[in-house]
Amino acid sequence: MAVNYAVLLLLVLYCLLCRADKFEATNFTVSGAEDAKIGTDVLSLPRLLGTEKAELPCAIVEGDPYGRFYVSNNCTVIVARPLDWSVQSEYLLKILVGGQEDPDHHVVRIRVNVRNVLGYPPVYNKKCETPVNPRGNLSGEFLFSLSLSVEVETTEGDVFFTEKIINKPFEKWDMDDLKVIITGNDNCEVRIAAGIRNLNDLSAAAEIWYGFYRGEDGTVTLSCHAETAFIQSELSIMLLDIREFHIHGNLPYLEQLEIPIPQVLEKLQHSLFIYFLSFNVPTNSRTHYTCKLPIQHRPLSFFKDKDHSVTRLNVRHVETLTMDLSRIGCAPDRYGLLCDQNCICKNGARCHGFNGACKCTDAWQGVACDIPKPGVSAATTPSDPSDIYISANVTVHCKVHHVKATTLSLRLPNGSEIVRKNSSRLDQILLNVQPTDNGPYMCKVWDTYGKVFNATVVLDMAKCPPNRKGEFCDETCDCLRGATCDWRSGCVCPAGWTGTRCQTTCPNGTYGERCREECRCRNGASCSPSDGRCTCAAGWYGWQCDVPCPQSRHGLRCQQVCTCKNNATCHNVDGTCTCVASWTGKNCDQVEEQEQPMRPEPLLEIFVPIGSVIILAACVGAILYRKRHLCGQVEADLAQTVRPGWLSRWGKTRRHLTLGPLVGMGMFGQVIQAKLKTPAGNITVAAKAVRRRDIQCYRNFYREAAILVAVHEDQHHDNLRSNIIQLLGFINEPTHKYILMEYASNGNLLRLLRQARRQVGPQSLPRHLRYAVHIARALQELQRLALTHRDVAARNVLITAHHVAKLADFGQARDVYTAVQYVPNDKHGIEQPAKPKDNVKNEVFPLNWTALESLETGEYTCQSDVWSFGVLLWEIVTMGQEPRYHGNDQPTCQQLARTLRRGIRLRRPPKCSVEMYDVMMSCWRESPPTRPGPDEVEMKLVHLRNAMITVRETTV
Ligand code: AMP
């Protein structure tokens, strides 16, 4: 007997050493890991019993009701179905060895202990559930699809864009050999180590390896970041030279992996480079990552395959790289990143596309949901609680599984009970459910052995029927864009949409869910309301469209080649050339001729003075002739535009005014410093009179009067806070007509800027920006009053003694409801909107301050004032330079409109910060509604100015 035991002990030892990986036998007790693969040997009875008869018939006669094991012909016990420690950790198998006829037949009892394995079985994590892809088997797609988009500047000065969707394995990928995939269980994390052997990929990896600076951990790392209202997710790709491992003996990243380093290296040992990819399974159906590359220190050279011909792409730098990770899902019976694993889930269980975990239905349990779960289940129809609402009809089901029920009962929240005898199912319909029906519904079953099982489902339906909202469900949602209707908050809009019914896109400058993100697109780029991606205007590229095309390229996506010669600079937007000295012509390829003083023809010399005199005489005659008509016209204008009774409220007499020196000349008016006698004493005022006694001047004069009265008689107007020049009164006598205004002793902003340029230089920008902030406030006041100024420019901004900027010269202003100025069209006898005349030059019409749409249609709005405000900013930054689009040539109105339509804008002045230029460019957006409002501009300027002051303070 002792000998037998010794033999057995030896056998057990033998089993420990040579048995299949997962099981080791002890003295009639074997223990094995729960993650043993199907087919793994548990034990060999002939060996255990010391018999040589391999063909002994054996059979399990007890202890394995659910067929976890089976015995092979040679009497070896093998794992037949997945084990699960949490369901059954011990099996007592009774095995009949030898057939009934065999006189030696006997029963062997074997205890199989199932060992718990950490991280097994995989967890079904609902958070990273992936869809089922019904066409997956045919299309051979991945669980995810990765869409890459990249913008690079080449060494030749081209900008190269490419977009690639990777949703299937490339043919050349030998994925099995080269990759190790480590997937987290409950944190939805994926980590992949992929070795490279393919020659092309090797050369690309080498370029990246040697072209970028390596981080402290010895890797070249690309980190990508996704940020939306609900998730923040990181994706990183690291490149590693495997030789580093051999040199240093450790790899920090590999150490973080949960599987031992040698295992990874063994798999990847024949690769020179390894890519490590890690990311979290996107919770959204699509996650958009923007990636940050390490610093590149030399150009990279890649082979690019196009139409079966290989070309080289020399990358000077990578400007943008984005990745979109979308969940595609595997075919119903597949899982894994490559959808190359077979699901084991049975009995209607759902298989997790990510790690193959099974989500069992109520009646089943175990790793593969193939072990019956005796008891009862409680459920409702509709099954999704979000579909249960007040007044709906709901059915509660009690269902008995794998037991013979003697009694089945359902207890309702009100305490009543429904009982069925010898029934395996009970369905209770609840009609027109009300909040009083809320609560637990408990199903209970007694089996034939008196054992009791129970299960509960809870009703909690404080919700309205579909498309209804409000406390009493009496409001309708009627959501658009596929939005869902929440009974409390109404329509829950998809990203990019807002409004009570999700009927409007995000307001300009915002994007994302609930429009909570701020767009960062610059230089007239449009911003996708759903994900904030920038679509650059001509001449720009990069993340935020803030990178001008390389020197030799221009236009949309920088795809046009510049034709400028002889060191000329090429405009990034339209490719126009700015020649260096002594060159001229469209392409700066013609030598400039020295200007010769022009000698007038002798005949002209004689006739020009005579001609001038005749023309002058004719003009004087015409003016004298029209003067009578003029006054009638003016009075008519006046009566219509100025509020009734205005004179009694604002009228002053000439006697009270003592005129002083002339302080300024405008286009239509002249301004005189004067003293006005008031009950409180004499005050210094600015008295504005018409410059010439012509219809145009009078029109402007009365318009200014009308607008200033409208501003000052508004109930919200506050003289102390307003940034609109203060009106003090009118003198409207037949020969003396004056608008009396507060006197701004520091004169106009343009003069101040030009003076400052000569004296203090551009470091005074924060001081002058303060004035811009004031004018943004003035525009807000005008916007509130639905007035347009139409000539916002530095020359029309006055600076008071207390250094407050005030908007003045309202001669062009109108209310927005009569925004289109109509003039008679002689030819057709009908009225046409007045447009700036095509040949009108800058001296008579502020073309270069005028918004694109105003140039084209003659229409002015508060947004067209914002455009002019952008030009005013430009004037401030350039310290009073004249805004010009075409060098010294002043284009006609139509030419300028065409230029602006092509996306050309005033250039960024030297030393103007990107952020500041960004504000200007936003004011010059082609579509008026997409321009910021004056309040938004004010906020941005205050922010910029504060930043400037802080920087200056910290650097001093
Ligand atoms: P305007 O016709 O309003 O453009 O005025 C012409 C010029 O007169 C301005 O550029 C200022 O230099 C000066 N001016 C106008 N209004 C005032 C004022 N209220 N106080 C001081 N100077 C003024």
What is the DSSP track for 823-887? Answer: EEETTTTEEEE----TT--TTTS-GGGS-HHHHHH----HHHHHHHHHHHHHHHHTTSPPP-SST
Atom of ligand 1 at shortest distance to CA of 704?
3
| The pLDDT of residue 851 | 95
Which of the four pLDDT bands, split at 50, 70 and 90, describes residue 826? very low
Residue 13 reports pLDDT greater than 70: no
| The pLDDT of residue 745 | 94
Q: Cα(666) to centroid of ligand 1, in Å?
A: 7
**Ligand 1 in contact with 809 (CB < 6 A)?**
yes
Q: Cα(741) to centroid of ligand 1, in Å?
A: 10
| The pLDDT of residue 937 | 95
Atom of ligand 1 at shortest distance to CA of 750?
10
| The pLDDT of residue 915 | 92
Residue 472 reports pLDDT greater than 70: yes
φ/ψ (deg, to 5) at 773 = -60, -40
Which of the four pLDDT bands, split at 50, 70 and 90, describes residue 815? low
pTM here is 0.55
Convert 394-418 to b/e letters by CB count within 10 Å (16 or more is b): bebbbbbbebebeebbbbbeeeeee
**Ligand 1 in contact with 795 (CB < 6 A)?**
yes
Q: Cα(114) to centroid of ligand 1, in Å?
A: 95
Q: Is 688 annotated as a binding-site member?
A: yes
φ/ψ (deg, to 5) at 263 = -65, -40
The residues near 98 (Cβ < 8 Å, ≥ 6 apart) are 56, 57, 58, 104, 105, 106
**Ligand 1 in contact with 98 (CB < 6 A)?**
no
| The pLDDT of residue 156 | 84
> Whose CA is closest to atom 7 on ligand 1?
664
Structural domains present in the chain: 22-115 (2.60.40.60), 144-327 (no CATH), 374-459 (2.60.40.10), 506-592 (2.10.25), 611-742 (3.30.200.20), 749-955 (1.10.510.10)
> Whose CA is closest to atom 13 on ligand 1?
664
Q: Which of 56-60, 170-174, 647-651, 904-908 has the highest mean pLDDT?
A: 904-908
**Ligand 1 in contact with 672 (CB < 6 A)?**
no
Query: Position of tokens 């303070």?
Result: 953
Distance CA 847, CA 840 (A): 8
- Tens-digit pLDDT profile for residues 494-543: 989 999 999 999 988 889 888 988 888 888 888 999 888 899 988 899 98
- Tens-digit pLDDT profile for residues 217-261: 778 989 998 876 456 778 888 888 877 666 666 665 555 555 455
Q: How many helices (H) and strands (E) does the chain have?
A: 18, 60
Q: Is the dihedral of CA 411, 412, 416, 419 positive or negative?
A: negative
Q: Which residue has the higher pLDDT, 126 or 386?
A: 126
Contact assessment for residue 720 and residue 704, using Cβ atoms and an 8 Å cutoff: no
> What tokens were used for 733?
């006598």
> Whose CA is closest to atom 6 on ligand 1?
666
| The pLDDT of residue 420 | 95
Q: Which residue has the higher pLDDT, 435 or 256?
A: 435
The residues near 449 (Cβ < 8 Å, ≥ 6 apart) are none
Q: Cα(135) to centroid of ligand 1, in Å?
A: 75
Pocket test for ligand 1, best of 748, 800, 806, 849 (most atoms within 8 A of CB): 748
Report which of 923, 899, 895, 921 is spatially closest to residue 908, judged by C-alpha positions.
921
- Tens-digit pLDDT profile for residues 178-199: 566 666 556 677 777 777 777 7
Which of the four pLDDT bands, split at 50, 70 and 90, describes residue 620? very low
> What tokens were used for 501?
């019914």
| The pLDDT of residue 517 | 85
Convert 240-277 to b/e letters by CB count within 10 Å (16 or more is b): bbbeebeeeeebebbeebeeeeeebbebbeebebbbbb
**Ligand 1 in contact with 663 (CB < 6 A)?**
yes
Q: Cα(748) to centroid of ligand 1, in Å?
A: 7
**Ligand 1 in contact with 666 (CB < 6 A)?**
yes
- Tens-digit pLDDT profile for residues 102-119: 777 788 899 999 999 988
Neighbours of 350 (CB within 10 A): 17
Q: Cα(809) to centroid of ligand 1, in Å?
A: 7
- Tens-digit pLDDT profile for residues 862-909: 999 999 999 999 999 999 998 988 766 778 888 899 889 888 899 999
